[in-house]
Structure 1
Amino acid sequence: MLETNITKSTFQFLNSLKKNNNREWFAEHKTGFSTESEKVKGFFNYVLEKLKSHDEIERLKVFRIYRDVRFSKNKTPYKSNFSASFTRAGSHRRGGYYLQIEPGNSFIATGFWNPEKEDLLRIRKEWEIDVTELVAIIENDAFKKVWGALEGEELKTAPKGFDKDDPNIEFIRKKQFIFIRKFTDKEVLSIDFAAQIDESFKLIKPYFNLMSSILTTNLNGESLLD
């Protein structure tokens, strides 16, 4: 069943879970978790249906509430958020969407989190040649108002094989190419939250189109797809 908005009870559950992050409490409140989880899944599916009206989506992945603590110093067993990703369909469509619901830390994110080695080199080679189209997209007033600046980890200096004095070095040294939009709790609980998410995702399309074009062609502009 689709849910058109996030309710206060979801925040109340997540706040309680954060304060009582242990297996005993969770076991006692498993029914409450199931109720809120299903409601949020319904909301994620509602966002999915909106996304499908302007993009091809292959898969919705709802992340588990259980944390993988094997290699973490933080041994709390549960996340204090509900989250999901939306995978674009087809090898010619690159980039993805992410949505997280958490009291005080709700946000959406898009872009390229950790590109594979070959993709990262291809992107850097493109920026070495020209960033004009990229800058035109990310410096657009409407785009910046929603998404802000390009974010992600970056090197302190130039990658191997690139000139540290290259005029486009601010882009070349990046390892991630992501945009994040944060939401207040009031915004998340508003009746137009799904619409705000969808309008934000629509605005990212020119960026996805550019990056998809780069990652599916060589430097001569020839397609790498069969």
Structure 2
Amino acid sequence: MNVSIIFQFLKELAANNNREWFQAHKDEYLRAQAEFEELLTSIIARISLFDESIRGVQAKDCTYRIYRDTRFSSDKTPYKTHIGGYINARGKKSAHCGYYVHLELGNCLLAGGSWCLEPKILKDVRQSVYDNIDEYRAIVEDPAFKQYFPIIGETHLKTAPKGFPKDFEYIDYLKSKDFTCSCIVADEFYMAPDFMDKIEDVFKQLKRFADFTNYTIDDYE
């Protein structure tokens, strides 16, 4: 496994984001893709040590197409300049909280959670947080968790969600429009000899959050 091969390809693609260049360098893309799948295979093996639901997940089922959908975008460059993989026991399209690995020059992430939840599911996850606030706070306020995931959710309501008291002491925890969390890592993170150990540590903390949200979400799947 050589992560630098992936970064080098992404660097060159960012500077030459056009179909002619990509076709001429298709072999380099396939090599980078193979290296990424090898990385995911190793990460899956690590996660399986503490999350048995991940055992048997194949790296090839976790990746995404590199081709961009430009139909509704002003940016017409045809290729993504990142490569990502979503390790999810129930599949990439599931609302079930999984583990996401994102490689992009200057914007690498280890993340997870549940995006674009249906309104009913989102309301029920919020209700679970409200009803079990001490348990939830014990996870998200734990320094061991917060060192990696300081913020829950990418977007937030400005006021209390409908159906919940505005004077609830921890109302900010209910304002998340999605239940996700992200750990930003430097590109150099993947050059350290112990980076797999660090990934395991990050995702061990994520599993605590995933177990809480999946308790509610999995009732719908």
TM over 0.5: yes
Q: Which residue of 1 aligns with 2:85?
A: 84
Shift of 1:139: 1.0
**Aligned partner of residue 88 in structure 2, secondary structure:** strand
Q: CA 1:225–1:79 in structure 2 vs 1: closer, same or farther (change >3 Å)?
A: closer
Shift of 1:89: 4.6
Q: Rg larger in 1 or in 2?
A: 1
Matches within 5 A, 1:15-94: 15-55=11-51, 56-57=53-54, 58=57, 60-89=61-90, 94=96
2: CA distance, partners of 1:147 / 1:171 = 14
C-alpha offsets along residues 181-213 of structure 1, whole Å, 9 cap, x if unaligned?
A: 111111122232222112211122222222223
Corresponding letter in the other structure for 2:189:
E
Q: TM-score, normalised by structure 1?
A: 0.85
- Asked if structure 2 preserves the Cα contact closer than 8 Å seen for 1:113 and 1:152, the reply is no
2: CA distance, partners of 1:52 / 1:112 = 20
**Aligned partner of residue 102 in structure 2, secondary structure:** strand
Runs of 5+ in structure 2 lacking a partner?
none
1: CA distance, partners of 2:105 / 2:87 = 21
Matches within 5 A, 1:1-226: 3=1, 5-7=2-4, 9-55=5-51, 56-57=53-54, 58=57, 60-89=61-90, 94-215=96-217
Shift of 1:147: 2.1
Runs of 5+ in structure 1 lacking a partner?
217-223
1: CA distance, partners of 2:138 / 2:64 = 34
C-alpha offsets along residues 15-38 of structure 1, whole Å, 9 cap, x if unaligned?
A: 110011000111111111111111
**What is the percent sequence identity of the aligned residues?**
33
Corresponding letter in the other structure for 1:67:
R
C-alpha offsets along residues 11-64 of structure 1, whole Å, 9 cap, x if unaligned?
A: 121111001100011111111111111111111111112122221124541111
Question: Aligned residue pairs: how many?
Answer: 213
- Asked if structure 2 preserves the Cα contact closer than 8 Å seen for 1:106 and 1:188, the reply is no
Corresponding letter in the other structure for 1:200:
V
Shift of 1:176: 0.9
2: CA distance, partners of 1:157 / 1:23 = 46
- Asked if structure 2 preserves the Cα contact closer than 8 Å seen for 1:127 and 1:168, the reply is no
Bigger helix fraction: 2
Corresponding letter in the other structure for 1:198:
E
